[in-house]
Amino acid sequence: MAKKTAHDDLLASVTLAVGQEELLLDRAVQEVVAAARAADADTDVRDLTSDQLQPGTLAELTSPSLFAERKVVVVRNAQDLSADTVKDVKAYLGAPAEEITLVLLHAGAAKGKALLDAARKAGAREVACPKMTKPADRLAFVRQEFRATGRSATPEACQTLVDAIGSDLRELAAAVSQLVADVEGTIDEAVVGRYYTGRAEASSFTVADRAVEGRAAEALEALRWSLATGVAPVLITSALAQGVRAIGKLSSARGGRPADLARELGMPPWKIDRVRQQMRGWTPDGVADALRAVAEADAGVKGGGDDPEYALEKAVVAIARAARSRGRG
């Protein structure tokens, strides 16, 4: 969950949301906007990408208003701002306007570090939005989601939900919301199992995610769990195909911002970020090998082989090997 690491005034002049977890970044923005609109229902919200904030734009947006309205200015991917625009932002940090809250979303890496440091030095309220890569972090996230609703869920229920849904925080948050809305009393493992165990889409894409990340053992474990809970093999081959094709499409695309690539490739921006992380280690030959493995598995599960489970295991291992093809001689 997002962690506040500085003062907690949601209406502070500047809020700095740092990290790469899209759900947490969005929530950091939503919290500020909600607080601003609670103070002034007519609050004007301007939500901009880094390429929309050109030199001079911030001065225009933060200039005194004839109606003295409250305003929230959100800048996404602040690490990608041009040098001239960074100068504008730094100047603004030194003398922020009244009744205006500037929200900077920054990935937190080395790129754009000067702006990150300047915002911190200026005393910005900071919200940490780190990528949750560890199962323990996602488990803690689910527990916090239930606590935030005032509802009780057993530890086994939380673990079962993480196992069923996987690594996508938006799906985990949505699952908690659904359970809270539909179920009375304490939410236990049996309830979660009834709703989510064996959910084909979630479990099949978990297999694909682990495979394209080169994590063969985890992919095989997820595969066996999926098959044991009744997921159709054809759904798993479909998920594997989508995962490999996404790697191929993004690796051959022109460089650009996630929003631009999303439009070009027909993927949501959050998926662009995920696939970028997954494609490390892949080569064009690796993508070709993986696609052949998926095609063979697809034929195997549709009647071309005697053992669909073995066909899937073989494909998963081949994809995971292909994901580590870079650097191998």
Contact at 8 Å (CB) between 142 and 172? Answer: yes
Does the pLDDT of residue 85 top 90, yes or no?
yes
The letter for the amino acid at 233 is P
3-state secondary structure of 111: coil
On the question of pLDDT at 327 being above 90, the answer is no
pLDDT digits (tens, 9 = 90+) for 156-178: 899 888 877 777 888 889 889 98
Which strand ranges, in their side-by-side order, compose the sheet holding 44-48? 3-4, 125-129, 14-19, 100-106, 71-75, 44-48
| Structure tokens that stand for 219 in this block | 């992919």
Residue closest to 72 by CA, chosen among 48, 106, 55, 56: 48
Per-residue tokens: 279: 């494609």
What H or E segment, with its residue span, contains residue 33? helix 22-39
Is this prediction's pTM over 0.95? no
Average pLDDT over residues 208-213: 91
pLDDT at 303: 74
Structure tokens at 155: 């530890």
Average pLDDT over residues 241-253: 85
Q: What would the pLDDT profile of 293-305 be if each residue is shown by its tens digit?
A: 999 998 888 776 6
Instruction: Quote the CA–CA distance of 219 and 312 in Å, as a whole number.
Output: 11
Determine contact, residues 163/193, Cβ cutoff 8 Å: no
Q: What integer pLDDT is reported at residue 255 of this predicted model?
A: 62
| Predicted confidence (pLDDT) at residue 259 exceeds the cutoff of 80 | no
The pair of structure tokens assigned to 237 is 């081959």
Q: Is the pLDDT of residue 272 over 90?
A: no
Distance of CA 288 to the CA centre of its chain: 27
pLDDT in tens, 45-75: 999 999 999 999 999 998 876 666 789 999 9
